[in-house]
Amino acid sequence: MIKKFIPLFKKLIVFALIVGFIYALAPHLLTSSEADNHQTTFISDASGEAMEQLTLAANSVNPYHFGNKQSLTPNRLKQVTSDIALPAAFGEVVITWSSSSTAIMIEATTSTISVASPNGLIQIEVYKGIVSERPNVFEGSKPFTLTAVFALGDATLIKTYEGAVVAQMPSDFWGGFVYTFIRYISLFAEGVATTLGLSLTGTIIGFIIALILVALRLLKPNSRDQKSVAFLKKFGSGFAKVYITVFRGTPMIVQASFFWYGLGLFGDALLCGLFVVSVNTAAYIAEILRGSIGAIDKGQTEASRSLGMNSIQTMISVIFPQSVKNSMPAIGNEFVINIKDTAVLSVIGIFELFNQTTKVAGIHYRQLEAYLVVALIYLFLTYTVTKILQRIEKRFDIEIRELPSSN
Partner 1 sequence: MNPIIRIIDLKKSFGNNEVLKQINLDIYPGEVQCIIGSSGSGKSTLLRCLNLLEEPNGGSILFEDVDLLAKETDINLLRTHMGMVFQSFNLFNNKNVLDNCTLAPIKVLKIDKKAAEAFALSMLDQVGMKDFAYQNPNQLSGGQKQRVAIARALAMKPKILLFDEPTSALDPEMVGEVLEVMKKLAKSGMTMVVVTHEMGFAKEVANRVVFMDGGVILESGTPDEIFTMPKEERTKNFLKRVL
Nearest distance from C-beta of residue 294 to partner 1, angstroms:
16
Q: Which of 300, 384, 386, 390 binds partner 1 (CB under 8 A)?
A: 300
Q: Which of 214, 318, 336, 370 binds partner 1 (CB under 8 A)?
A: 318
- The yes or no reply on residue 109 touching partner 1 (CB under 8 A) is no
Interacting span for partner 1 (CB under 8 A) from 64-72, 246-254, 299-307, 398-406: 299-307
Nearest distance from C-beta of residue 317 to partner 1, angstroms:
6
User: Which one, 128 or 325, has the nearer CB to partner 1?
Assistant: 325
Burial 198-214 (b: 16+ CB within 10 A, else e): bbbbbbebbbebbbebb
SS3 145: strand
Nearest distance from C-beta of residue 351 to partner 1, angstroms:
42
Q: Which of 37, 41, 60, 317 binds partner 1 (CB under 8 A)?
A: 317
- 310 to 284, 306, 314: CA distances (angstroms): 27, 9, 6
Q: If DSSP states are collapsed to H, E and C, what string results for 179-207?
A: HHHHHCHHHHHHHHHHHHHHHHHHHHHHH
User: Which one, 10 or 325, has the nearer CB to partner 1?
Assistant: 325
Number of residues that bind partner 1 (CB under 8 A): 20
Amino acid identity at 394: K
What residues from 239 to 298 belong to the interface with partner 1 (CB under 8 A)?
297
Q: Which of 321, 349, 400, 407 binds partner 1 (CB under 8 A)?
A: 321
SS3 380: helix
Nearest distance from C-beta of residue 211 to partner 1, angstroms:
16
CA–CA gap between residue 135 and residue 130 (Å, rounded): 14
Q: Which of 118, 249, 267, 299 binds partner 1 (CB under 8 A)?
A: 299
Exposed, middle or buried by CB within 10 Å (0-12, 13-18, 19+), for 45?
exposed
Q: Which of 325, 371, 372, 406 binds partner 1 (CB under 8 A)?
A: 325
- The yes or no reply on residue 204 touching partner 1 (CB under 8 A) is no
What residues from 152 to 181 belong to the interface with partner 1 (CB under 8 A)?
none
Q: Which of 152, 183, 148 is nearest to 53 (CA)?
A: 152
SS3 43: strand
- 378 to 282, 340, 382: CA distances (angstroms): 23, 7, 6
Residues in contact with 94: Cβ distance below 8 Å, sequence separation at least 6, in sequence order? 88, 150, 151, 152
Q: Which of 140, 135, 53 is nearest to 102 (CA)?
A: 135
- The yes or no reply on residue 228 touching partner 1 (CB under 8 A) is no
Nearest distance from C-beta of residue 390 to partner 1, angstroms:
22
Contacting positions for partner 1 (CB under 8 A): 223-224, 297, 299-300, 302-310, 313, 317-318, 321-322, 325
